[in-house]
Amino acid sequence: MIKTLTKAALATSLLIAVGGVANANGDLQEAAKNPAQWVMPTGNYANQRWSDLDMINKDNVGQMVPAWTFSTGVLRGHEGNPLVVGDTMFVHTPFPNIVYALDLNDEGTIKWKYEPKQDPSVIPVMCCDTVNRGVAYAPGVDGKDLVILHQADTNVVALDASTGEEVWKVQNGDPSKGETGTAAPMVFKDKVLIGISGGEFGVRGSVTAYNLSDGSQAWRAYSTGPDDEMLMNPEKTTELGKPVGKDSSLKTWEGDQWQIGGGTTWGWFSYDPELNLIYYGSGNPSTWNPSQRPGDNKWSMTIFARDADSGEAKWVYQMTPHDEWDFDGVNEMILADIPVDGKDRKALVHFDRNGFAYTLDRETGELLVAKKYDPAVNWATEVVMDPNSDQYGRPQVVSEYSTEQNGEDVNTTGICPAALGTKDQQPAAYSPETKLFYVPTNHVCMDYEPFRVAYTAGQPYVGATLSMYPAPNSHGGMGNFIAWDAGKGEIVWSLPEQFSVWSGALATAGDIVFYGTLEGYLKAVDAKTGDELYKFKTPSGIIGNVMTYENSGKQYVGVLSGIGGWAGIGLAAGLTDPNAGLGAVGGYASLSKYTALGGQLTVFTVPEQTASSN
């Protein structure tokens, strides 16, 4: 059956609440239920990247063709995806972070364009390309719908969704210290949540909630430091069921290293309205030389569950204590109700850079599953699951691949995965019909040599030299696209790719899953078997996230192409030194044979659409 809404239902879903911003959350939730739209960066609060639309399905996707295209006018890495609200599409770009409003009823003509004036001096302090992962939409804020942009220079700007005019603007960080903005905001209740980038510059991570009405700060929670600044309650905030205790972060850092200790928050956010909890991950500790920061370095590399109203942490779980490999923990938290050990659980599923996929109870933080989602992962043997063990919840590090144990100025070789992880920020998708997670992955290993480095505000604070290459003794490529059973911790099927899959996935009720490749292909595969059903090469490599919407009775699929990001930084920034780009330039050197710079939105459709037979 066709899972779409009538025009009357669509109009109802877009009504602005008379009560103002207090009901913005409810309005956004209702708008997200309409599959004709794509109103949040990840589709819904649960980060599932799922659509009920099925007019494009496994029976007819082979007939899909480009319907229209739009050039963004920018040549750098295009991460994230557009939003669709009613008959308007909102498209964003990398620096200078242009926002376009396109009229879907008039062949994508430009309704308005917003181009912020930013100091280009922010570009050198953007670690891994000038990317931006998208804008957020906030309905019914004091009579106006808003589009929220988080600029590279950390300014957060609320735009009138109808006109593109600035409503308010507030600065979230200080680029002179290396603080930048790359993450997509998340609107919840009467607030918008903003993270911070800059872990490679010694930035101290934080998340900040701003009031939608005027941009004033509601609360800010740091990743490291004193309890009051982290919004941690020593008695009530728990890890694996036990209170974290007083000074849980300070006790795990040497001296004041926590002040430049990283734990940045440049990934995705999710929200459970019933539990009123926000979920996100913190990034790597600074520096990359582990010898300069003894201890567990809490709470870098951590999953946080925070109260949406106060910001107080309800529970935390540190995945990689004393990270020695730059395994950021910022990847998305996907919320899904799934069976684990024969029991239905309110789960949180997280595919970490460190190569382990975690399934936790999202209410309590109980660890349910922790398994490798790439067989090549070798830096640890396992995560201990015995609650009675003093190693409970900790990965068991293999000495051969420990950059700490091998020491400074020693090149540790053959570490899998590489620093860019088994998966970077490119978000996975979840199908409530198959109960499977569809995960874009990197199949890449590295050599890693740490060295001593001094901190200077606004200068790189890395302290390691890396080289990257495909996982040995495998299919020879640098990526896989997999289907994952998060209740069992098992790969169901896996598709090898020549390069890392740096595109966010999309699962739909048409029994298909979409993703893009670094060469520039949009691909559609059977959700149950992984069989390839369609592919089309777009003008540039795809590091954007696939989305879908309906307009005038037809389903469309859209994706941004524009090579860049960490994997494509060599092409994006014109780098040739193999060790440049934190080791990525050499690893992805051959990518230049397959694609070139670009900045384009491509929208696809099937000319003659019929509903899925399911």
With H, G, I as helix, E, B as strand and everything else as coil, classify residue 100: strand
200 annotated ligand-binding residue: yes
d(CA 155, CA 168): 10
d(CA 295, CA 321): 8
276 annotated ligand-binding residue: no
Q: How many CB atoms lie within 10 A of CB 364?
A: 14
Would the CA dihedral through 556, 560, 566, 567 be positive or negative? positive
Q: What are phi and psi of 197, to 5 degrees?
A: -110, 165
Residue indicated by tokens 């019909």: 433
Pairing of strands 506-508, 50-51: parallel
d(CA 277, CA 188): 10
220 annotated ligand-binding residue: no
Torsion, Cα of 61, 65, 70, 74 (10° steps) = 70
293 annotated ligand-binding residue: no
Spatial contact of 279 and 305, defined as CB atoms under 8 Å apart: yes
d(CA 429, CA 545): 10
d(CA 150, CA 118): 12
Q: What ranges make up the beta strands (E) of 486-553? A: 490-497, 506-508, 512-516, 521-526, 532-537, 547-551
Active site residue ranges: 326
133 annotated ligand-binding residue: yes
Burial 385-422 (b: 16+ CB within 10 A, else e): eeeeeeebbbbebeeebbbbebebeeebeebbbbbbbb
d(CA 321, CA 318): 6
Spatial contact of 125 and 175, defined as CB atoms under 8 Å apart: yes
d(CA 64, CA 263): 42
End-to-end alpha carbon distance in the chain:
7
Helices of type H across 16-145: 24-33
Spatial contact of 106 and 593, defined as CB atoms under 8 Å apart: no
Residue 545 gets the label, from left (phi > 0), alpha (psi -120 to 50) or beta, of: beta
Amino acid at 202: G
Residue-by-residue DSSP string for 276-344: TEEEEE---BS-S-GGGS-S--TTSSEEEEEETTT--EEEEEESSTT-SS-----SPEEEEEEEETTEE
Residue-by-residue DSSP string for 207-272: EEEEETTT--EEEEEESSS-HHHHT--TTT-EETTEE--TTTTGGGSSTTGGGG-B----S--EEE
182 annotated ligand-binding residue: yes
109 annotated ligand-binding residue: no
Residue list, annotated binding site for pyrroloquinoline quinone: 79, 133, 182, 264
Question: What residues form the annotated binding site for Ca(2+)?
Answer: 200, 284, 326
Residues at the annotated binding site?
79, 133, 182, 200, 264, 284, 326
